[in-house]
């Protein structure tokens, strides 16, 4: 038996990231042009449902009796609360790395190192992910885009400067394949946030469901809580 939906307003801070004036989006060194572009962040709604066993009202018992033909054995009366909230998407620093290979040989990202510096602090490697870039291959005269990931937004200050550094990017080798030239690239971005408000709803539903279905719901909710706790902060 659903109750009237309750509507309220939720607010969340959404990042705004833009390149600082002294930073060139595309940088060409040794015939390898690399550009880095930040993700566009938005606020999105998510739903979370909580289920608990409740005591049925007289009306609830009558409705259940009619629905089950007077046989409510194997049923449990529950209350489900479904609440909308807001989250930022994506939920961590994310940049697209576009590589324009002007060289006469294949570019391989293997051996390169990516570093994130946020508000003057070097971010731990455990909170960054640039596997896609370092395992990337770009044929000669081709352009390919990769994604690199920084720390979760929840670990960042409200505002500051983000530095992204690509070290030891190979731009030349000899006939034997030995590295003869490496280049370093760096970008600096301003980081701020803007509040976003959206209407969210809260819905309460009560009624009888199968005992097995009730236990499955509880198990799923417990798994979701465990996943949230394990998520990087």
Task: List the chain domain ranges.
Answer: 12-41+90-196
Q: 87: closest CA among 185, 12, 177? A: 12
Task: Report how far residue 164's alpha carbon sits from residue 162's, in angstroms, rounded to the nearest whole number.
Answer: 7
Asked whether the predicted pLDDT for residue 63 surpasses 70, the reply is no
Please write the tens of the pLDDT for every residue from 171-186.
998 888 889 999 999 9
Q: Helix, strand, or coil here: 131?
A: helix
pTM of structure:
0.78
pLDDT recorded at residue 107: 94
Q: Confidence band (pLDDT; 50, 70, 90) for 228?
A: low
CATH of 12-41+90-196, one of 2.60.40, 1.10.10, 3.30.70, 1.10.1240: 2.60.40
Nearest Cα to Cα of residue 165 among 98, 92, 113, 107: 113
In whole angstroms, what is the distance from residue 56 CA to residue 78 CA?
A: 8
Provide the sign of the torsion angle of the four alpha carbons 78, 79, 84, 85, taken in this order.
Answer: negative
**Rounded mean pLDDT of 97-121?**
93
Q: What is the 3-state secondary structure (H, E, C) of 75-123?
A: EEEEEEEEEEEEEEECCEEEEEEEEEECCCCCEECCCCEEEEEECCEEC
- pLDDT at position 17 is 95
| SS3 category, 62 | helix
DSSP 231: S
Where does residue 203 rank: exposed (0-12), middle (13-18), buried (19+ CB within 10 A)? middle
pLDDT at 146: 97
Render pLDDT for 11-32 as a digit per residue (tens, 0 to 9).
999 999 999 998 999 999 999 9
pLDDT, the chain, mean: 87
């Amino acid at each position: 038996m659903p109750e009237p939906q309750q509507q309220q307003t939720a607010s969340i801070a959404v990042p705004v990231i833009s390149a600082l004036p002294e930073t060139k989006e595309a940088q060409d060194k040794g015939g390898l042009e690399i550009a880095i572009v930040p993700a566009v962040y938005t606020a999105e709604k998510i739903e979370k449902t909580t289920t608990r066993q409740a005591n049925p009202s007289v009306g609830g018992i009558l409705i259940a009796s009619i629905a089950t033909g007077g046989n409510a054995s194997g049923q449990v009366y529950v209350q489900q609360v479904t609440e909308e909230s807001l989250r930022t998407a994506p939920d961590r620093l994310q940049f697209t790395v576009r590589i324009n290979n002007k060289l006469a040989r294949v570019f391989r990202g293997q051996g390169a190192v990516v570093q994130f510096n946020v508000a003057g602090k070097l971010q731990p490697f455990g909170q960054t992910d640039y596997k896609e870039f370092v395992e990337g291959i770009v044929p000669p005269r081709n352009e390919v885009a990769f994604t690199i990931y920084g720390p979760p937004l929840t670990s960042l200050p409200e505002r500051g400067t983000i530095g992204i550094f690509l070290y030891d990017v190979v731009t030349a080798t000899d006939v034997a394949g030995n590295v003869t030239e490496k280049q370093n690239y760096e970008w600096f971005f301003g980081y701020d946030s803007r509040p976003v408000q959206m209407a969210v709803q809260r819905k309460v539903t009560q009624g009888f469901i199968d005992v097995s279905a009730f236990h499955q719901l509880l198990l799923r909710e417990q798994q979701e809580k465990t996943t949230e706790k394990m998520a990087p902060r």
